[in-house]
Amino acid sequence: MRNLVTRFHSLLLAVTLAITAVGFLRIPADFHFPAHWAGNGPDWLWPRQALLVAPALEAILLAVFFALGRSLTQNHFSKTQHILDPALTLLLAVVTASQFGLLLSGIGSDLDFIRLTGFALGAVLLVLGILLFEAERHTYAGLRMPWPIASDRAWRRVHRLAGLAAGLAGTTLLWLAWQDAGAGALVTSFALALLFVPATASLATLAMRSR
């Protein structure tokens, strides 16, 4: 059966649900997460209910990828599984790590796990950018799209654009984490970075498919 959702993906959702439950048990109802600091105090606060966002988002991601896997033909599934599977793993892992960071913040820990996630995700995107920029056609690191890219020259341009996008996103995340931009800015940047790279790759392949 064509299924992009594995047991490990379900485990990440279960871990996020467990973190959420602990958060509601350990964090006072009137607590607000400091999402951004200005001077000596926070100027952007999230209520405790922000803990509900992560499990809801992961459930949506699992449903979308499950439906996507079932909609693909067997041939296209076999060509894209090696990209979509780790992509889903990365998305879920970032959400789970961010949720753990909120829990640590809520219970008063000094460990800024969301900032650490920013460093880790930035490094991953930098490595991905190098792989895409240097990829040869039909290698494991190559992009797989529903539409063909007409020439080897266009294929290289698409991958270099995607690689530059990943490198830019990774560098930005590393800078924000180094500057300690705050949980709000970092979590928002995680989402934008993870959308920016595939969007750039998709638009580039559409632009180059007839060249």
pLDDT digits (tens, 9 = 90+) for 22-33: 999 999 999 999
Q: What is the mean pLDDT of residues 175-203?
A: 92
- The per-residue pLDDT for 139 is 47
Residue where a domain terminates, one of 111, 142, 168: 111
Sequence letter at residue 151: S
Domain of 92? Answer: 1-34+42-111
pTM: 0.88
Rounded to 5 degrees, what angle do the CA atoms 184, 40, 43 make?
35
Q: Do residues 22 and 105 both lie within one domain? A: yes
Rounded to 5 degrees, what angle do the CA atoms 132, 201, 65 make?
100
Q: Do residues 136 and 198 both lie within one domain? A: yes
Q: Do residues 6 and 99 both lie within one domain? A: yes
Q: Do residues 93 and 197 both lie within one domain? A: no
- pLDDT beyond 80 at 114: yes
pLDDT digits (tens, 9 = 90+) for 35-66: 887 777 788 899 999 999 999 999 999 999 99
Q: Rounded to an integer, what distance in angstroms lies between the CA atom of residue 176 and that of residue 183?
A: 10
Q: How confident is the model at residue 210 (pLDDT cuts 50, 70, 90)?
A: low
Q: Do residues 89 and 59 both lie within one domain? A: yes
* DSSP state, residue 7: H
- pLDDT beyond 70 at 118: yes
Residue where a domain terminates, one of 76, 111, 146: 111
Q: For the chain, how many structural domains are there in total?
A: 2
Q: Do residues 101 and 164 both lie within one domain? A: no
In 3D, which of 54, 178, 58, 198 has the Cα closest to residue 118?
A: 178
Q: Do residues 103 and 122 both lie within one domain? A: no
- The per-residue pLDDT for 83 is 81
Residue where a domain terminates, one of 86, 111, 136: 111
As to burial, measured by CB atoms within 10 angstroms (0-12 exposed, 13-18 middle, 19+ buried), residue 158 is buried
Q: Do residues 95 and 127 both lie within one domain? A: no
- 93-105 b/e (C-beta count within 10 Å ≥ 16 → b): bbbbbbbbbbbbb
- The per-residue pLDDT for 75 is 78
